[in-house]
Amino acid sequence: MRLPLSIIQSLFVRKLHLLTIGLAIPLLGIVPVSATAQLVCTPNNIPFGHVVVGQTQTFLVTVTNTGQTSVTVSGTTVSNSEFNVSDLSLPLVLLAGQSVDVSISFAPTALGWTGGTIKFSSNASNAALKLELAGAGVSSEAVTASPSTVSFGQVAIGASSTRPIVLTNARTWNVTLSALQTAGSEFSISGATSPLTLGGGKSVTLNVTFVPKSAGTTGGSLFVPGLALAVPLVGTGTTAAAGQLTITPASLNFGSVPDGTTETQSISLSAVGSNVTISSSASSSSQFVLNGASFPQTIPAGQSVSFNVAFTPKSSGTVSGSLSFTSNASTSGTLESLTGIGTANDTATQYSVNLS
């Protein structure tokens, strides 16, 4: 059976009309529905790990509009009162490609694991963006981290900044760190390999490095699975050129110092060009000690800080060494040369005798 000619003509016209619309869309630059604004949360989940009841741990997440049109974030909904979202003023308009940093905190009120979600409501194509959360309230931690949160401050794009984290076994028995992980592509870890066993009360120092790839603040974490230890990390990439760290004088000569006594001299560290954050220092010899220093410490551009260096020779002879300073400066491994001579201590106790 053939369809009437009028129906065939009607179907042909309709098909031609749809084809014309399909061709007109790319020609007129109309954005397809699939390319409308999208919201993305980085990271998309946060394992808070173990947090002592009554204390608070905070992580930084970044909400980004990856679409081609602006998005208005109208509200947030938290499913569990032990989690909280802050640093977000609503309603918030995010232009195409724009991001906002949001602080997410966990403050357990009871022992045990708990989970929840934070929903970001908007007019984006994914109108309800969800951030998954999990954490556990504990009475004490098996392994503690010092510092418990690491902030790298401002670091020039392409430069790096390294901070030490000391993990300590708070138990009297051995604890095994089965793995060491970092979240956030701009953070990395060195200084130890896993699995690693810590004896009771023993510690290990890890080095966490931040290398920003773009301008803006980035959040991440150091996580030890099994022990559920999480250390928040945060750093800010900046387009400013990296500063330089200079030391005055360039070297110290303590001269002759009797064995067992101490001679002290001062050094001055200056930031040139941009702010410089010193993350740590190390001495190549136990006979040279840096006094009065606490790190990390940021030196504003154009300013200086002074410290004392003490030389205590343990035996006679010439002693050479150096102090190294790790920072986010372009001269990250700045060195201070040290030298001194230990001399025999001839001071003897004198006695007097009265004869009669």
Distance separating alpha carbons of residues 126 and 62, to the nearest angstrom: 16
Give the range among 7-11, 58-62, 314-318, 351-355 with minimum mean pLDDT.
7-11
Same domain membership, residue 125 and residue 149:
no
Same domain membership, residue 123 and residue 51:
yes
pLDDT digits (tens, 9 = 90+) for 245-289: 999 998 999 999 999 899 999 999 998 888 888 888 888 889 999
> 91 preceded by cis ω (within 30°)?
yes
Same domain membership, residue 40 and residue 101:
yes
Q: How many domains does the chain have?
A: 3
Question: Considering the domain boundaries, does residue 30 fall inside one?
Answer: no
Give the range among 47-56, 65-74, 87-96, 152-161 with minimum mean pLDDT.
152-161
pLDDT digits (tens, 9 = 90+) for 79-100: 999 999 987 889 999 999 999 9
Q: From the CA atom positions of the chain, what is the Rg in Å?
A: 31
Helix (H/G/I), strand (E/B), else coil: 313: coil
Same domain membership, residue 331 and residue 278:
yes
Same domain membership, residue 181 and residue 96:
no
- Mean pLDDT of the chain, nearest integer: 84
Question: Considering the domain boundaries, does residue 349 fall inside one?
Answer: no
Average pLDDT over residues 64-91: 92
Average pLDDT over residues 145-171: 87
Same domain membership, residue 160 and residue 78:
no
Percent of the chain whose predicted confidence (pLDDT) is above 70? 86
Same domain membership, residue 231 and residue 308:
no
Question: Considering the domain boundaries, does residue 95 fall inside one?
Answer: yes
Question: Considering the domain boundaries, does residue 73 fall inside one?
Answer: yes
Q: What is the pLDDT of residue 18?
A: 39
Residue after which a domain boundary falls, among 171, 206, 240: 240
Same domain membership, residue 211 and residue 135:
no
Question: Considering the domain boundaries, does residue 318 fall inside one?
Answer: yes
Question: Considering the domain boundaries, does residue 82 fall inside one?
Answer: yes
Average pLDDT over residues 4-31: 39
Same domain membership, residue 264 and residue 232:
no
Question: Considering the domain boundaries, does residue 348 fall inside one?
Answer: no
**DSSP code per residue over 264-309:** EEEEEEEEESS-EEEEEEEESSTTEEEES--SSEEE-TT-EEEEEE
Distance separating alpha carbons of residues 273 and 88, to the nearest angstrom: 33
Same domain membership, residue 157 and residue 125:
no
Q: What is the pLDDT of residue 312?
A: 94
Average pLDDT over residues 130-144: 94
Residue numbers of the domain that contains 215: 142-240
Distance separating alpha carbons of residues 236 and 210, to the nearest angstrom: 9
Q: What is the pLDDT of residue 20?
A: 38
Residue 183 pairs in a beta bridge with 221
Single pTM value for the model: 0.64
Q: Is the pLDDT of residue 5 over 50?
A: no
Same domain membership, residue 186 and residue 248:
no
Q: What is the pLDDT of residue 36?
A: 52
> Bigger pLDDT: 3 or 240?
240
Residue 38: count other Cβ atoms within 10 Å of its Cβ: 17
Same domain membership, residue 50 and residue 128:
yes
Q: What is the pLDDT of residue 93?
A: 94
Question: Considering the domain boundaries, does residue 14 fall inside one?
Answer: no
CATH number for the domain spanning 253: value is: 2.60.40.10
- Quick check: 84 and 59 in contact, CB under 8 A? no
pLDDT digits (tens, 9 = 90+) for 291-307: 988 887 888 888 999 99
Give the range among 40-49, 273-282, 327-336 with minimum mean pLDDT.
327-336
- Quick check: 313 and 332 in contact, CB under 8 A? no
Residue after which a domain boundary falls, among 206, 240, 274: 240
Residue after which a domain boundary falls, among 193, 208, 240: 240
Q: Which residue type does 197 have?
A: T
